[in-house]
Structures are given as C-alpha cells and as structure tokens.
C-alpha cells in the first residue's frame, strides 16, 4: 500500500468557457462522489478554467499532485474545448505521472470528444481512467 500524499486531493477540472456552467457542476459533483470512495478522505479542489485567477503553472502543479482528477468539458465540433486543450497543452508528455483520470464530456459529439480527450490525457501520463458516463446533448 502506498502512503497518502501530504495533501490528498481530487481535482475537479472544468473546461467549459462559461463561468458556473452545468459542466463545472457535473465535474464538482463527480469529484465529490469519487472523493467519498477513496481512503484518507481527500478534499476536492475545483478548477473552473472559465473563472480562475491563479497562474496556470500553479493550477497544473495542483493537478499533478492530485490523487485523482475529474476532467469535464462540453464538446466543440467533436473535440474538447480550446480552453481545456490550451490548459492541458502546458503539461509535458507523461507529466501526470499515473494520476487516475475520470472524463465527462457533454454534447452532440461527446463520444468522439471523449475518445480524443482520453487519448490526450494518456499521452500526458494519466493513469488508468476511472469510468464515467458519456452524457449526450443537454
């Protein structure tokens, strides 16, 4: 059994460009549900990319140190949003170091965008994905 991190967290990461979006609420709820299932009572840290004042490199450090991440985004023509892709583009390949990732994608082409996001997270070093439903158009 591995030791818990000094500040165990589950990160809720929303790539919706609308502040306080339904996507951000879904990510927050999924992260809270996930945190309740993990040992050592991790806290949930919410990163809503539409409404952040912290430096992106500080936010990326929080993501890298998490016990798990929940990444939620609406799809944009079959892709995750440019806002989310820009944030993730700041990570080096393999930088996530095996952090498990749960993916939630909403919209008409959610299945395509989810596959693309999972592949990208895998390249960034996300660990075995935690299952999550693909939600259709809202």
Q: Could you tell me which CATH class the domain 9-130 is placed in?
A: alpha beta
CA atoms within 13 A on the CB side of 65: 15
Contact call for residues 7 and 31 (beta carbons, < 8 A): no
Looking at 2-138, list the stretches that DSSP marks H as alpha helix, in order from N- to C-terminal side: 22-37, 56-64, 82-88, 110-123
Using a pLDDT cut of 90, give the percent of the chain over it. Answer: 75
Q: Which residue has the higher pLDDT, 23 or 136?
A: 23
Q: What is the pLDDT of residue 55?
A: 94
What value does the mean pLDDT take over residues 93-115?
95
List, for residues 50-70, the tens digit of each pLDDT value. Answer: 999 899 999 999 999 999 999
Q: What is the pLDDT of residue 6?
A: 52
Helix (H) or strand (E) segment spanning residue 73: strand 68-76
| pTM reported for the whole predicted model | 0.86
How far, CA to CA in Å, does 118 sit from each of 41, 105, 129? Answer: 26, 10, 8
């Amino acid at each position: 059994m591995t030791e818990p991190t000094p500040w165990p967290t589950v990160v809720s990461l929303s790539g919706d460009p609308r502040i306080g979006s339904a996507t951000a609420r879904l990510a927050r709820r999924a992260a809270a549900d996930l945190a309740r299932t993990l040992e050592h009572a991790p806290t949930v840290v919410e990163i809503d990319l539409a409404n952040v004042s912290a430096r992106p490199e500080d936010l990326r450090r929080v993501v890298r140190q998490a016990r798990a991440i929940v990444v939620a985004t609406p799809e944009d023509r079959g892709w995750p949003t440019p806002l989310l892709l820009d944030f993730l583009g700041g990570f080096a390949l393999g930088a996530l170091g095996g952090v498990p990732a749960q993916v939630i994608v909403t919209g008409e082409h959610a299945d395509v965008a989810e596959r693309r996001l999972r592949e990208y997270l895998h390249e960034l070093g996300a660990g075995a994905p935690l299952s999550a439903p693909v939600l259709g158009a809202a």
